[in-house]
Amino acid sequence: MAIILIEFNVEEKDEYSIVKFELKGNITPEVLKNLKPPQINPAKGVVLTGRGPIWLYCFLSHFYHPTRFIAVYDPRIGAVITESHSEKSIGEIIKI
Amino acid sequence: MAIILIEFNVEEKDEYSIVKFELKGNITPEVLKNLKPPQINPAKGVVLTGRGPIWLYCFLSHFYHPTRFIAVYDPRIGAVITESHSEKSIGEIIKI
């Protein structure tokens, strides 16, 4: 039985899906090998949020690459657009 | 005159280029709008390193997407492969 070390939750908004993760222990990069983040509607954007290592965020950014845009939630700022195939521009902030 | 808030340095290795950045002040997401990270040889991988916000890393990951692989340096672990179009596998660690 695989131990699930990363728990994902998806909250749907009109323009984007908020993919929130929670670490259930100390993760190592090994965890990326079999990680299956939730599938979402690629016609919408994705906002990534959760406390975790930068390499997990970069992995998730790549995983969700086919979506309309990707934003990273920074608690001090809001959700920052880091890539976009839409009218949103890089560096733009979404208040979620 | 634009103030350069992010300074990049590139160190070339056989298999990858190490792209190191240094923040020269408090950056806000605005900085991404005109950011021109160094061009590197896409036939090699890239290792990203530097102290900065997660959204900067996700932006850089996307920027270097066409390269052979992307790794994110974690001082506690090493450089973690987060995407790969090569023999390197996701989650693999490179000692740099």
Chain A neighbors of B82, CB-CB under 8 A: 32, 55, 58-59, 62
Q: What confidence score (pLDDT) does residue B70 get?
A: 98
Residue B2 has pLDDT above 90, yes or no: no
Where in the sequence is the domain holding B61, given as residue range(s)? Answer: 14-24+38-94
Residue B4 within any structural domain of the chain:
no
Closest partner CB to A61 (pick from B28, B30, B61): B61
> How far is C-alpha B14 from the chain's CA centre?
16
A36-81 pLDDT, tens digit each: 999 999 999 999 999 999 999 999 999 999 999 999 999 999 999 9
**Across chain B, what does the average pLDDT equal?**
95
Chain A neighbors of B62, CB-CB under 8 A: 61, 65, 70, 82-83
CB contact under 8 A, B33 and A72: no
Q: Are A81 and A88 in contact (CB under 8 A)?
A: yes
Residue A47 within any structural domain of the chain:
yes
Structural domain total, chain A: 1
Residue A63 within any structural domain of the chain:
yes
Residue B61 within any structural domain of the chain:
yes
pLDDT tier, B4 (very low <50, low <70, confident <90, very high otherwise)? confident
Closest partner CB to A62 (pick from B48, B54, B82): B82
Angle between helices A54-63 and B54-63 (to 10 degrees): 40
